[in-house]
């Protein structure tokens, strides 16, 4: 079973999320909104399918990274979150929350051995460009 298939996003705390977004936009050309940005790309093994990686700033007092005290969180894309969570539980990995499902995929948070929070994301099936009816 494949586990991590790629990087889903990078999230970090900062004193002034809006100011940071503006700095990254002005100085590095990162096209930010209030939520950060999404970098789109194509699957190497099937270029007709698109994928995305998120980049987002959070306020220092966000509770979203809890219970980790670290100022960042990495999101990893996975293929089968249900099976992966079952394997992680067998290995006594700390599962922070219950799996949540949204229209863009399934999520769960785990902790690594040093207490870094990791967000695992199984994206909904990504759309083949030829299947899009506009």
Residue by residue, DSSP assigns 42-99 as E-SS-TTBEEEEEEEEEETT-STTTT--SSEEEEEEES-HHHHHHHHHHTTPEE-S--
Residue 133: the pLDDT is 37
Over the stretch 27-42, which tens digit does the pLDDT of each residue have?
999 999 988 999 999 9
* Residues counted in the chain: 134
* pLDDT beyond 80 at 57: yes
Q: Where are the domains of the chain?
A: 4-126
Over the stretch 76-123, which tens digit does the pLDDT of each residue have?
999 999 999 999 999 999 999 999 999 999 999 999 999 999 999 999
Separation in Å, CA 67 to CA 2, 94, 115: 27, 11, 8
129 DSSP assignment? G
What is the CATH number assigned to the segment(s) 4-126?
A: 3.10.180.10
Average pLDDT value for the chain = 90
């Amino acid at each position: 079973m494949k586990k991590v298939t790629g990087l889903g996003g990078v999230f970090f705390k900062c004193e002034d999320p809006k100011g940071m977004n503006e700095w990254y936009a002005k100085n590095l050309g990162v096209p930010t909104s209030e939520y950060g940005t999404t970098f789109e790309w194509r699957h190497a093994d099937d270029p007709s399918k698109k994928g995305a990686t998120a980049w987002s700033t959070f306020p220092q007092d966000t509770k979203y990274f809890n219970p980790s005290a670290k100022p960042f969180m990495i999101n990893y894309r996975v293929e089968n979150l249900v099976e992966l969570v079952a394997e992680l539980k067998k290995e006594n990995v700390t599962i922070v929350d219950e799996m949540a499902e949204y229209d863009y995929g399934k999520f769960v948070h785990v902790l690594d051995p040093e207490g870094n929070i990791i967000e695992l994301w199984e994206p909904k099936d990504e759309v083949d460009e030829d299947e899009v009816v506009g």
